[in-house]
Chain A
Amino acid sequence: MHVRNIWFLALATCTEGIRHKALWAIVCLAVLLTMANLGVTTLYSWDLGKVSVEFGLSAVAFTGLLLVFFLGMKILADDLERSRIFMLLSRPVSIWQYLTGKFLGLAMILLLATIILGLSAALSMHYVLWKYPAYVPPNFSWLTYVMALTCQWLSLVVLLAMSVLCFSFASHPFVALLLAVSSYLVGQNMELLRRVVVENPKAGVLTGQENLVVALSWIFPNLSLFDKKYAAAYGMAFIGQEFMLLCLYSISYSALLIYLSTLLFKRKELA
Chain B
Amino acid sequence: MSKRLTIHLFVALVLIGFYAASNNALLQQQNTAGQTGRSNSGIWNLPPVALLAVAGEFKGLMADYLTMEAGAQLGTELARKPEGGFRVVKKQYDWPSIHRIFVASQTLDPSFAQTYIVAQGWLPWEPANMVPETQEIVKIAAKNRPWDWQPYHSMGFNAYYFQNRHGEAGKLFLEAAKIPNAPPFLPILGARLAQKGGETETAIVIMKSMLVDKNPEEPGYTDMVDRLHALEGVLVIEQAANSYEKSTGRKPSSLAELTASGTLAAMPPNPYNLDYCMDAAGVIYFDNPDCQSSPPDKSNQQQR
List B residues at the A interface (Cβ < 8 Å).
49, 52-53, 56-61, 64, 67-68, 109, 111-114, 117, 147
**B146 CB, min distance to chain A CBs, angstroms:** 9
Query: Per a CB cutoff under 8 Å, which of B49, B61, B113, B147 touches A54?
Result: B61
Fill in one digit per residue for A38-49: 1 if any B CB lies within 8 Å of its CB, else 0.
Answer: 001001111100
**A265 CB, min distance to chain B CBs, angstroms:** 29
Query: Per a CB cutoff under 8 Å, which of A45, A155, A189, A233 touches B60?
Result: A233
Assess whether A54 is in contact with B64, with CB atoms less than 8 Å apart.
yes
Number of chain A residues close to chain B: CB under 8 A: 29
The distance in angstroms between the C-alpha atoms of A192 and B117, with both chains bound, is: 28
Assess whether B64 is in contact with A51, with CB atoms less than 8 Å apart.
yes
A50 in contact with B57 given A138-B147, A196-B49 (CB within 8 Å): no
The distance in angstroms between the C-alpha atoms of A155 and B56, with both chains bound, is: 13
What are the residues of chain B within 8 A of A61 when measuring CB–CB? 57-58
The distance in angstroms between the C-alpha atoms of A130 and B67, with both chains bound, is: 24
> Is A58 an interface position by the 8 A CB rule?
yes
**A141 CB, min distance to chain B CBs, angstroms:** 14
Report the nearest B residue to A152, measured CB to CB.
B57
What are the residues of chain A within 8 A of B59 when measuring CB–CB? 230
**A125 CB, min distance to chain B CBs, angstroms:** 14
What are the residues of chain A within 8 A of B67 when measuring CB–CB? 44
The total of interchain contacts (Cβ-Cβ below 8 angstroms) comes to 56
* B interface majority secondary structure: helix
The distance in angstroms between the C-alpha atoms of A63 and B53, with both chains bound, is: 20
Assess whether A227 is in contact with B61, with CB atoms less than 8 Å apart.
no
Report the nearest B residue to A139, measured CB to CB.
B147
What are the residues of chain A within 8 A of B52 when measuring CB–CB? 189, 192
Fill in one digit per residue for A206-240: 1 if any B CB lies within 8 Å of its CB, else 0.
Answer: 00000000000000000110010110011000000
List A residues at the B interface (Cβ < 8 Å).
40, 43-47, 50-51, 54-55, 58, 61-62, 138-139, 155, 185, 188-189, 192-193, 196, 223-224, 227, 229-230, 233-234
The distance in angstroms between the C-alpha atoms of A105 and B273, with both chains bound, is: 80
- Give the one of A58, A155, A185, A233 with max B CB within 10 A: A58
What are the residues of chain A within 8 A of B147 when measuring CB–CB? 138-139
Assess whether B113 is in contact with A46, with CB atoms less than 8 Å apart.
yes
Assess whether A47 is in contact with B114, with CB atoms less than 8 Å apart.
yes
The distance in angstroms between the C-alpha atoms of A44 and B49, with both chains bound, is: 26
Assess whether A188 is in contact with B64, with CB atoms less than 8 Å apart.
no
The distance in angstroms between the C-alpha atoms of A185 and B113, with both chains bound, is: 29
The distance in angstroms between the C-alpha atoms of A224 and B55, with both chains bound, is: 11
The distance in angstroms between the C-alpha atoms of A54 and B62, with both chains bound, is: 10
**B202 CB, min distance to chain A CBs, angstroms:** 28
A189 in contact with B109 given A45-B114, A55-B61, A55-B64 (CB within 8 Å): no
Report the nearest A residue to B53, measured CB to CB.
A189
A188 in contact with B113 given A43-B68, A44-B64 (CB within 8 Å): no
The distance in angstroms between the C-alpha atoms of A196 and B67, with both chains bound, is: 26
Query: Per a CB cutoff under 8 Å, which of A46, A55, A185, A233 touches B56?
Result: A185
**A108 CB, min distance to chain B CBs, angstroms:** 23
What are the residues of chain A within 8 A of B113 when measuring CB–CB? 46-47, 50
What are the residues of chain B within 8 A of A47 when measuring CB–CB? 112-114
Other A-B contacts than A46-B113, A46-B114, A230-B59, 19 sampled, CB-CB below 8 A, are A45-B114, A45-B117, A47-B112, A50-B111, A50-B112, A50-B113, A54-B60, A58-B58, A58-B61, A61-B57, A62-B58, A138-B147, A185-B56, A189-B53, A189-B56, A192-B49, A192-B52, A229-B57, A233-B60
**A128 CB, min distance to chain B CBs, angstroms:** 13
A44 in contact with B114 given A55-B64, A138-B147 (CB within 8 Å): yes
The distance in angstroms between the C-alpha atoms of A249 and B60, with both chains bound, is: 24
Report the nearest B residue to A229, measured CB to CB.
B60
